[in-house]
Structure 1
Amino acid sequence: MTVEFSQATAEHLEVVKQEILDIHVEVRHRDFGMTGDFHSAERFAERLATYASRPGWSAVIAHEDGVPVGFCFGHPLAADTKWWATMTTPLAADVTREDGSRTVALNEIVVRRPWRGSGTAWQLHETWLTGRDEERVTLLVNPESGNGALQANYEAWGYRKIGEQKPFPDSPVYSVMLRPVTQSA
């Protein structure tokens, strides 16, 4: 069995939307017990639609034998992005300066339980970054997820924590992580 990865853009959202929503509910609600309005399927669907409406949004969906096993998606940060506005401690202007092509934000990466630990998440991540023109990639991670294991995983992928933010009034406080899109060997 081989996991296959397919790219999607905003034009394909309606084709991949239900798979993304189903995986979200399975992993976030059932596996991790994330409850409350912020983690609801409805709020996630709203965020997905908002992200996909931004220029340059793209996703990668993983399938094995036709079964969806995971996804990731994100978009470039626009010059007028609010991404850096909710930092708990402001960052220097040279870090937060955006021009629409400097930074891409990885909004979500989710893998179903049977494929966790198999390298599928890494392959989703790297497939999504392949061909990106941005200089760097940023993401938010709940530092409590997996008792810190998820953040440690991103650190192993080359990310470094640069601060914390609370992007929504009812969201957790996230670690903000950053790394170059292309890493030297």
Structure 2
Amino acid sequence: MERPFYHRDRFDERLTAYSSRPGWEAVIGYHGEEPIGYVFAVPLSEATAWWSAEKEPLPDEYVREDGARTLALNEILVRRPWRGAHGKGTARALHEELLSQRHEQRVTLLVNPSLSDGRLKAVYESWGYKQIGSQQPFADSPVFATMMRDPLHL
């Protein structure tokens, strides 16, 4: 949270932009009345800039979007008591619930490969994601691993 890209104001800017786009959806998990985590995503439009920050450009056919081809998973967060082995799959359950209602062909996400000494990236790989590139979408953001899960429903 001390780095500018992760500051609350920057998160709010990104959330406002994502949530204003057609097809944006969020799932919030609860334990009783207590919120324990969330995930949100939005389909990539024809005019998306998602692929423009790739360090090595991907083939045109691979990055061509039509608003229904690729879902971009923008954020997933689970509160500490529900993370890891103690969480009994909370993050994955939220993720799969979101995807279960979607009709896109594939889902992409960005992950900071240095977080948790690479363990977070390994979690996504265990969910069926594969790294397809790397990008730095904002001047103050880290270089993220670009990951894709295809098909969306495994």
TM-score by length of 1: 0.80
Root-mean-square deviation over aligned CA pairs? 0.7
2:118 is matched with 148
Deviation at 1:62, TM superposition (A): 0.6
2:80 is matched with 113
1:167 is matched with 137
Which of the residues 66, 73, 89 maps onto 2:33? 66
Q: Does residue 182 of structure 1 match 2:153?
A: yes
Deviation at 1:95, TM superposition (A): 1.1
Identical columns (%): 54
Question: Structure 1 regions of 5+ residues with no counterpart?
Answer: 1-33
Q: 2:32, 2:23 → 1: CA distance?
A: 29
SS at match of 1:123: helix
SS at match of 1:88: coil
Deviation at 1:36, TM superposition (A): 2.1
SS at match of 2:119: helix
TM-score by length of 2: 0.95
1:25-40 counterparts in 2 under 5 A?
34-40=1-7
Q: 2:25, 2:139 → 1: CA distance?
A: 26
Which of the residues 56, 60, 75 maps onto 1:93? 60
* 1:142-170 superposed Cα distances (whole Å, 9 cap, x missing partner): 00011000000000000000000000000
Deviation at 1:84, TM superposition (A): 0.1
Q: Which amino acid aligns with 1:120?
A: T
Q: Does residue 81 of structure 1 match 2:52?
A: no
SS at match of 1:69: strand
1:116-131 counterparts in 2 under 5 A?
116-117=83-84, 118-131=88-101
* 1:97-153 superposed Cα distances (whole Å, 9 cap, x missing partner): 100000000000000110002200000000000121100000000000110000000
The number of residues matched between the two structures is 150
Deviation at 1:43, TM superposition (A): 0.9
Which of the residues 84, 104, 111 maps onto 2:71? 104
* 1:48-72 superposed Cα distances (whole Å, 9 cap, x missing partner): 0100000000000011021111000
Moved over 4 A (4+): none
Q: 1:83, 1:100 → 2: CA distance?
A: 12
Deviation at 1:38, TM superposition (A): 1.1
SS at match of 1:84: helix
1:55 is matched with 22
Q: Which amino acid aligns with 1:108?
A: E
